[in-house]
Structure 1
Amino acid sequence: MSMTRAFALDGLLRLRRLEQDEAAGSLAAANAGRHESAAREAAARAGLGESLATPDTLDALHGIAAARASARSMVAELGAVTLERQRRAEEAQQEYSAARRNTLSLEKLAARHAETVAGEELHAEQIVLDELAGTAWQRQAEGTQR
């Protein structure tokens, strides 16, 4: 004979958990993009520093200078992409943290509700047991008086 009452905010709690899961996925994607961009930038910087070519002619020197300028431009662009992805990752972290706080507060309410319901059920069971014990004691007392 269970009197279990449903948690009134259970639907909202499920929604908050879904939002938290979505925010966690966005955070993971943002972090992956940030790491990928940073790795590409690091590789480009390393490649830029490894150029050991010595030009034989003026045209070769111009070619090397143009290639290095292009590589520096690419590194700068990758740096900008890395910064943008870092900003997105920070935003995603803030969104995840907010979603987690929202979920956590409802989870605490749900836990308190469950404790209250369990306490009420135990109290109701104790009343039934006390009544049964009282009835049994009364029957036993009536049986010894006869």
Structure 2
Amino acid sequence: MTKKFGLAGLLRLRGIQERDAAQTLSRANRDEQRTQARDRQLRDALSVSGSTVTDSASLRALSASRSAARGLLSDLHVLAEAQQVVTAQAREAHTTARIGELGLTKLAEAHAAREQERELAAEQAELDEIAIRPKTEETS
């Protein structure tokens, strides 16, 4: 009979923690990519200016629009920096969780190999015992 791996519950917990950390990292990467896409869209919109200034009111409106867009770009830049920090933290947490799970997985695999080796040795001992019995016992 095989002996159960004593840290199986902890291994399951570490697996759950690793999957949770992977999901957090995935969300952080997705948020960072969305912010970068919004930044690119805003920059593209600012670079394509088809409006021509015909009077001072149009010039003031264009100036206000560009000023607001610069403020939005600045806000997006701050948000992108914050998201990079969050992503880096999530990546570190995921790496730590993976290392913890990997260590326990290796222990579980080593335990399974030892148990299989022990079972095979016990089976071989039984076969050896059967092989050395006198022939007379087999016929009766």
TM-score normalized by the length of structure 2: 0.95
Tell me which residue corresponds to 1:41: 39
State the distance in 2 between where 1:26 and 1:82 align. Answer: 17
1:63 is matched with which residue: 51, 61, 64? 61
User: Residue deviations 1:84-105, cap 9 Å, x none?
Assistant: 1111111110000000000000
Change (3 A) 1:142 1:75: closer
State the distance in 2 between where 1:56 and 1:141 align. Answer: 116
Tell me which residue corresponds to 1:94: 92
User: Residue deviations 1:59-94, cap 9 Å, x none?
Assistant: 110110000000111111111111111111111100
Runs of 4+ with >3 A deviation: 140-143
State the distance in 1 between where 2:43 and 2:84 align. Answer: 18
Tell me which residue corresponds to 2:135: 139
Change (3 A) 1:131 1:62: same
Change (3 A) 1:142 1:69: closer
Q: Structure 2 matches for 1:5-24, cutoff 5 A?
A: 5-24=3-22
Contact residue 4 and residue 117 of structure 1 kept, 8 A: yes
State the distance in 1 between where 2:32 and 2:58 align. Answer: 36
Tell me which residue corresponds to 2:126: 128
Q: Which runs of 5 or more structure 1 residues have no equivalent in the other structure?
A: none
Cα offset, 1:57, TM superposition: 0.6
Taking only the aligned residue pairs, the percentage that are identical comes to 35
Q: Which runs of 5 or more structure 2 residues have no equivalent in the other structure?
A: none
Greater relative CO (CA pairs within 8 A, separation 6+)? 2
State the distance in 2 between where 1:51 and 1:69 align. Answer: 14
Aligned residues: 139
Which of structures 1 and 2 has the bigger CA Rg?
Answer: 1
TM-score normalized by the length of structure 1: 0.91
Contact residue 48 and residue 72 of structure 1 kept, 8 A: no
